[in-house]
A and B are shown apart, each in its own frame.
Chain A
């Protein structure tokens, strides 16, 4: 059974700082997804990573995938308050399995 582990679960950072969220998964996966969820809102898809070494960037967020290590990272560059949200990764092996989410708070 595919298990997906995110860490940290909670992250408080200063504006302007960099940080990385890690997503480990337990078995071979076809692809890796990242989502954002604001409090009380729906999900927003951020990235789909299809293959080993894939890297995608959108604004201050960059996601990468290492299928050999079964690891994906979401790197935040020069954080701003608007990035405060919960970020989920999900791995696909027949169906998608979500990590527990990382709640990010960016403080001035």
Chain B
């Protein structure tokens, strides 16, 4: 099974809402990533977890809060977002962080978030 799943596929939320994005993989990968991608732009790294510990936080505003409850699951908790946070949020995983053994990243299908 080489699949990364993300739920929900689409999310519309108001600026006062709290919601969560979920990402799951069952490949035994120990690194998991969150990226944000705005339309017609390259992805931007947000967070990286390695062995369930936060390894990289790219100065992301605190209204985004990541969580890695176990090695298969990665959450992104959202609170008090702004309309400019509307984007495609991509989760990925790899065997080791940054493909240290030459392995590639596997990406989920993404969650398309709209903040009203």
Binding site for B on A (CB under 8 A): 30-31, 33, 41-48, 50, 88, 90, 92, 94-96, 98-101
Contact = CB atoms under 8 A, between A and B. Distances in A.
Interface string B35-64: 000000111110010000000101000000
Interface residues of B, number: 22
A31 B42 contact: no
B104 to A, nearest CB: 4
Interface stretch (B12-20, B73-81, B95-103): B95-103
Given A42-B110, A45-B107, A31 B99 contact: yes
Contacts of A45: 104-107
A48 B102 contact: yes
Contact of A50 (B43, B44, B102, B107): B102
Contacts of B41: 100
Contacts of A50: 102
Nearest to A99: B42
Give the interface SS of chain A, mostly helix, strand, loop or mixed: strand
Interface of B: 41-45, 48, 56, 58, 88, 90, 92, 98-99, 102-110
Contact of A44 (B42, B58, B107): B107
23 contacts: A31-B99, A33-B99, A41-B109, A42-B108, A42-B110, A43-B107, A45-B105, A46-B104, A48-B103, A50-B102, A90-B42, A92-B98, A95-B45, A95-B48, A95-B56, A95-B58, A96-B45, A96-B98, A98-B42, A98-B44, A100-B41, A100-B42, A101-B42
Nearest to A49: B102
Contacts of B107: 42-45
Given A88-B43, A95-B56, A95-B58, A31 B108 contact: no
